[in-house]
């Protein structure tokens, strides 16, 4: 169960790190994050079915496409509500989420679509244990991307600029940082990460217009556990959620039915006991 829980946390981490970025840098609570993931899943499905492109190979193309989509969404909508009350921002992203979901229903109907990738059910031996190969790949990718993002934020000029903007929009603009460009970049990166998680869903599961909400909820639980905007805490928080779910599902009778309750309990516990997050 330990291995299953750890592997499950890979997809959670990949989903949440983008949301942590948009909350941390732009300060926008993006309810449409799961729908960007859904778009990524459809992109992965479509590239595989139409051109035989493996979702793993499609990552650069998919990330670039979703980055561009994020940029357009930012310029046309998010940018206009940055100074508005938080409730307006949330309603806007909620509206984008509903729009994208319904657009997907119109374009592809409500039926789930699965890409029949040859190694979808493949298992590999890790010592005495057998684990799913796609899950292992997703976990490795999630760790690499999250650590990569952490390094970019910590070491590069652009990353330092993002952190500066996250701390103070006014102060950053006073020292010459183009805040709006940083916001576009951060939002684009956030959607690109969600899209990459979507491609990994196409690799393991199936694409459907309705998959977004569940991942948005889990991502919110993870960033709350990590501490809002805390990028590297996302890995640990994903592990907490993945392991908790796996243990509850296995050891608690009828545990499968409780799995969604786990993250609500975790959010509740963290908000009451340590509101700034467990890993901050």
Partner 1 sequence: MRITVLLIAVLLAVATLAIPGSYQPVQAQREPIKIGAIAPLTGPTGVSGQAMKKGYELALEEVNRLGVLGRRIELILEDSRGDPPTGAAAFLKLVTRDRVEALIGGLQSNVSIAVAAQARQRPILMAWTGAASTLVERALADAEWFFHYHPWEYHNADSTFGFIRSTGAKTIALAYEDGPFGSGSADSAEAFAKNHGLSVIFKEAFKSGSPDFTPLLTKSKAAGADVLVWVSFDQDVVPMATQTRQVGYSPRLILAAPPSWPVGFEKLPAGNYVAGMALWTAENSHTASRQFVRRYKEKFNEDAASYWGPLAYTNLITVADAIKRAGGTELNALVAAMKATDYEGPIGLPLTFKRSIYGKNQGFTRLIAFQWQNGKQVVVWPEQIAGGKLAYPAPYGR
Measured from the CB atom, the residue of 62 and 209 that comes closer to partner 1 is 209
Residue 133 CA: distances (Å) to CA of 58, 71, 139, 188: 18, 33, 10, 29
Check if the beta carbon of residue 201 is closer than 8 Å to that of residue 44. Answer: yes
Going from the C-alpha of 37 to that of each of 31, 81, 267, the distances in angstroms are: 11, 23, 22
Near partner 1 by CB under 8 A: residue from 109, 156, 167, 168: 109
Interface residue with partner 1, options 95, 154, 256, 275 (CB under 8 A):
256
Residue in 2, 84, 99, 111 binding partner 1, rule: CB under 8 A: 111
In whole angstroms, what is the distance from residue 238 CA to residue 68 CA?
A: 27
Residue 211 C-alpha from the chain's centroid:
12
Measured from the CB of residue 25, what is the shortest distance to partner 1 in angstroms? 27
Provide the mask over 115-134, with x wherever binding to partner 1 is found by CB under 8 A and - wherever it is not.
xx-x-xxxx------xxxxx
Whose Cβ is closer to partner 1: residue 113's or residue 160's? Answer: 113
Q: Which helix (H) or strand (E) holds 113?
A: none
* Nearest CA among 228, 272, 224, 266 for reference residue 244: 266
53 touching partner 1, by CB under 8 A: no
Note the residues at the interface with partner 1 (CB under 8 A).
1, 4, 8, 11, 45, 49, 105-106, 109-116, 118, 120-123, 130-135, 201, 204-206, 208, 210-211, 214, 245-246, 249-250, 253-257, 259-260
């Amino acid at each position: 169960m330990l291995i299953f829980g750890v592997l499950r946390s890979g997809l959670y981490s990949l989903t949440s790190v983008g949301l942590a970025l948009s909350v941390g840098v732009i300060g926008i609570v993006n309810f449409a994050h799961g729908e960007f993931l859904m778009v990524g899943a459809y992109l992965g499905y479509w590239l595989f079915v139409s051109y035989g492109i493996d979702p793993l190979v499609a990552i650069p193309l998919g990330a670039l496409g979703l980055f561009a989509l994020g940029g357009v969404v930012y310029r046309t909508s998010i940018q206009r509500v940055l100074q508005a009350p938080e409730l307006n921002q949330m309603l806007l992203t909620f509206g984008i989420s509903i729009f994208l979901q319904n657009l997907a229903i119109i374009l592809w109907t409500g039926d789930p679509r699965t890409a029949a990738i040859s190694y979808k059910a493949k298992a590999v031996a890790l010592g005495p244990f057998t684990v799913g190969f796609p899950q292992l790949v997703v976990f490795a990718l999630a760790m690499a991307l999250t650590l990569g993002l952490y390094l970019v934020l910590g070491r590069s000029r652009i990353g330092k600029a993002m952190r500066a903007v996250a701390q103070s929009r006014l102060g950053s603009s006073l020292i010459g940082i183009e805040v709006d460009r940083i916001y576009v970049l951060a939002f684009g990166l956030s959607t690109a990460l969600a899209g990459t998680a979507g491609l990994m869903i196409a690799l393991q599961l199936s694409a459907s217009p309705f998959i977004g909400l569940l991942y948005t909820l889990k991502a919110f639980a993870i960033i709350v556990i990590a501490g809002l905007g805390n990028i590297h805490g996302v890995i640990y928080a994903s592990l907490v959620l993945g392991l908790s779910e796996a243990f509850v599902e296995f050891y608690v009778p009828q545990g499968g039915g409780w799995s969604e309750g786990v993250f609500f309990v975790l959010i509740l516990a963290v908000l009451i006991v340590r509101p700034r997050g467990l890993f901050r």
